[in-house]
Amino acid sequence: MLLPSILRTVVPLLAGWAVTVLSGLGLHADSTAVAGGVTVAVAAAYYLLFRLVERAAEHLSIPWLQAAAGVALGYARPPRYESTDEIAALVRASRE
């Protein structure tokens, strides 16, 4: 499913923008590029934090925490990717 991947990309970006704009971090950037860079950095940190919490909760068997971290990323469950023979062949070739 493509929707979970899209949501799990867009929601952290929106959260990064919201945190940057609404937080009062004292960041006053005159440059749009600097403001955009700060937004991307905050979004990346947001994604990393909740993805790590989600993985830890999965390994510690804490389903409610895993679901909560997933919701914070835009979709309650991480996307599952099926391996195919083509991908497995590419991985094997890259290791040789």
The two structure tokens encoding residue 80: 């599952």
Closest-CA residue to 87 (of 79, 77, 75, 95): 95
Nearest-5° angle of CA 36, CA 51, CA 62? 150
Task: Classify each residue of 28-66 as buried b or exposed e, where b means 16 or more C-beta atoms within 10 Å of its C-beta.
Answer: eeeeeeebeebbeebbeebbeebbebbeebbeeeeeeeb
pLDDT over 70 at 55, yes or no = yes
Q: Name the residue with higher pLDDT: 52 or 25.
A: 52
DSSP 19-36: HHHHS--S---S-HHHHH
- Total domains in the fold of the chain: 1
| Residue-wise pLDDT tens digits, 1-33 | 567 777 777 888 888 777 777 766 665 656 776
pLDDT over 80 at 66, yes or no = yes
The domain in which residue 35 lies consists of 2-95
